[in-house]
Amino acid sequence: MERAFWLREPGQGEIRPVELASPGEGDVLVRTVYSAVSRGTEALVFRGGVPANQYDIMRAPFQDGDFPAPVKYGYLNVGEVESGPAELVGRTVFCLYPHQTRYVVPATAVTAVPDRVPAARAVLAGTVETALNAVWDATPQVGDRIAVVGAGMVGASVAAILGRLPAVRVQLVDIDPGRARIAEAIGVDFAVPGAALDGCDIVVHASATEQGLTTSLELLRSEGVCVELSWYGDRRVAVPLGEWFHSRRLTIRGSQVGTVSPNRPRTYAERLAVALELLADPGFDALVTSECRFDELPTALPAMISDEPSSLCLRVTYDSD
């Protein structure tokens, strides 16, 4: 009998037994090696903060149950294919699947992890995919001055990708000075909000705070663009549209991973494959700040969420059997 993590009620998780269906033709049976907590979204789900009008939009690909609870939710999973098409058996794969010891999905739902990407790092693929989509939405140019406000999992991933572009000035901005080590690991500059460089062509906002959005608008030059990547759930935020917004002709552009950026004619599978290629960079290891065993997840998840702002990604390990 396999096991899965469920949100029993907002703020309370538990491990439940799961009976797997027999794999059909074209299916794969995957044994999970690692999963990870997508901090921003899963924290919001964990506290029951998904707005009722977003229940359908926010469903994960292999979610069981319904919001607010009970629900089996998650989408960062790396495992080994135990049975299925010959070309996948024995391969390490990434899947948008919740925290569960083994699972059966169509072979088309998994993506093979490149050999040069460790399985422990590949668990970040869903986060890097979100960041990649935001970069495509931002349409940066060579030589741009860019800030990323919010050095969480997604914000740091955006900064890491942008930092690869030639002659681009990238500064990661966060209220926690300790996040400077994240910026150093991914090869970009760091600043607390009061010391951040302004005159930016693009600011990507990923702090999910009202203050962070205000800072993002303040850092833009005239005609600058703020790409809003934060997910606020059921929280209302105030936006300072009465200050520089009109005189500088600023733009706020929403970005969400559920749709591939129209700026890039790619499929979802192609976008995920690019994200996995990007994870060959060991700098992304800095995003994993804590780890627990699967059996410890009901206790570790609420502890991690309450440990703001110090923790980033919680990686979950699974016993081999």
Q: For the domain that residue 283 is a member of, what is the CATH number?
A: 3.90.180.10
Tell me, yes or no, whether 213 lies in a domain: yes
Backbone angles phi, psi at 64, to 5 degrees: -115, 150
Q: Are residues 148 and 218 in the same domain?
A: yes
Quote the pLDDT of residue 210: 94
Quote the pLDDT of residue 8: 96
Tell me, yes or no, whether 267 lies in a domain: no
Whole-number percent of the chain with pLDDT over 90? 83
C-alpha to C-alpha distance for 77 and 94, rounded to whole angstroms: 6
Tell me, yes or no, whether 274 lies in a domain: no
Q: Are residues 12 and 60 in the same domain?
A: yes
Tell me, yes or no, whether 227 lies in a domain: yes
Domain total in the chain: 2
Q: Are residues 99 and 181 in the same domain?
A: no
Q: Is pLDDT above 80 for 305?
A: no
Angle at 189 between CA 188 and CA 193, to 5 degrees: 130
Cis peptide before 114 (omega within 30 of 0): no
Q: Are residues 32 and 100 in the same domain?
A: yes
Quote the pLDDT of residue 41: 81
Structural domain of residue 65, as residue ranges?
Answer: 2-124+279-317
Tell me, yes or no, whether 271 lies in a domain: no
Whole-number percent of the chain with pLDDT over 70? 98
Q: Is pLDDT above 60 for 169?
A: yes
Tell me, yes or no, whether 270 lies in a domain: no
Cis peptide before 70 (omega within 30 of 0): yes
| Cβ pair 91, 117 in contact under 8 A | no
Mean pLDDT of the chain, nearest integer: 94
The model's pTM is 0.93
Tell me, yes or no, whether 261 lies in a domain: no
Name 78's Cβ contacts closer than 8 Å, sequence gap at least 6. 32, 33, 34, 35, 92, 93, 94, 95, 113, 119, 120, 122, 123, 125
| Cβ pair 206, 215 in contact under 8 A | no
How sure is the predictor about 233, in pLDDT bands with cuts at 50, 70 and 90?
confident
